Amino acid sequence: MRLSGKVCLISGGTAGIGLTTAELFARHDAQAVVVTGRDPERGAEAVERLGGNAWYLPQDVVDEDRWDAVVDAVVARYGRLDILVNNAGWIGDEQAQDIEEVELEQWRRILAVNLDSVMLGCRAAVRVMGANGGGSIVNVSSTAGLMSTPLFTAYGAAKAAITQLTKSVAVHCAWRRYGIRCNSVHPGLIETDLGDRVLALFDPDVDRARTAYLARVPMGELGTPDDAAAAILYLASDESRHVTGTQLVVSGGLGV
């Protein structure tokens, strides 16, 4: 199987793309699938869905010490960490993010959740993976990081920065011969409750907003969590052994 014997850690792994990815990893024979999140009830539900090879750890992804504690706990329990998926993210609340209205506190919080967390995860994982023969890091970004996002200025800036961070981590690890690959996945709008909330920010009539969005998507449909998870699986697995520092876009052609 594609992940046979692999120990995997997925931040924000109790819902949405994170949980779907965890389920896919479990189906592909991962030795362990560790999911993190802020809600213990969701964590327990995720473990029940994932089965006996799953473990939930509570985590605030902007907490530096907690990142180190989570990675240390995984290594203490399983002996190593093979795959990290930096999936946790936050688009922000309903407060405006356009450049005239965005508040500095809001800006900093959105960048902390979406960018600082990825840096902290990469740093903690590289320190462990580099000493244990290598691994794969997949950072979940967004098409929002590849094009203008005038209504989501902070979110778009954070997701764009993930691209640069991913490339820097990839080359650093390659130069050091750590055996660690680092890549990013960039989903477009995904068919989830969060997707509907995003559409509502463009137009209170969600159906009308969806129609307008799909007019920009050559394939004419929204992606699903399964689409994003399949891309993450490829980059996490040894099938992508010669792929590092790249951006895999899962958007139905949006932005092409």
Residue 155 annotated as catalytic: yes
54-58 β-sheet, strand order = 54-58, 32-37, 7-10, 83-86, 135-140, 180-187, 247-250
Q: Indicate which residue of 56, 155, 178, 213 is catalytic.
A: 155
* DSSP 3-state of 46: helix
What does 66-127 look like in DSSP terms, one character per residue?
Answer: HHHHHHHHHHHHHS---EEEE-------SS-BSTTT--HHHHHHHHIIIIIHHHHHHHHHHH
Largest CA distance in the chain: 52
Are 251 and 186 in contact by the 8 Å Cβ rule? The answer is yes
Catalytic center residues: 155
